[in-house]
Amino acid sequence: MKSATLRYANALADIALEQGAGEPAAKQLESFGAAYAQSAELRTFLGSPAVSVEAKHEVLEKIAKRLGASKIIRNFLLVIADHRRTQLIPEIAAAFQQVLRQRQGVAEAEVSSAVELTASQKKELAATLERLTGKKIEPKYALDPSLLGGAVVRIGDTIYDGSLRTRLNEMGARLAVE
């Protein structure tokens, strides 16, 4: 199902970005995804093969109107219902966010440090990561006292490890070999 999720997310991204509505579409889809996730009744209704497509369309139209969803999102939800993929809505919303960020040249960085970083350290780290990746970085910071010092940064599948713990482990391994 992952490929179907990605296909829908890419198709929505194509349309939303073409119309300059990437961010609003992401927020609207996220709002609908939250409503979908919170309501077992809605999930059951939309997932039931016994419910007609027309009835599903009516409900989706009402919810979209209540959420203030754009025509792009309304039509997208109707297509999802037509293809009986409503159970994928939360995954499609998450994939859409990732596709949108990727196309806009934005990368999320998870930064773990032993101590709280100062504002200037955060700014310098973000600038360095932007130079390394060539993307705009959106950092998320967390504390990890087990690092002893330094920081570990994860951007997608890439890890930059500048922690004291890792350096001490490497030094210990080298000394054990010698």
Q: List, for residues 59-80, the tens digit of each pLDDT value.
A: 999 999 998 999 999 999 999 9
Encode burial over 76-103: b for 16+ CB neighbours within 10 A, e otherwise: bbbebbeeebbebbbbbbebbbebbbee
**For 161-177, what is each residue's pLDDT tens digit?**
877 777 788 888 888 88
Phi, psi of 118 (to 5 degrees): -75, 165
Band of pLDDT at residue 157, cut at 50, 70 and 90: confident
Ranges in the chain annotated CATH 1.10.520.20: 2-102
* pTM (two decimals): 0.69
Question: Is 2-102 in CATH node 3.90.320.10?
Answer: no
Query: In the prediction, which pLDDT does 56 show?
Result: 94
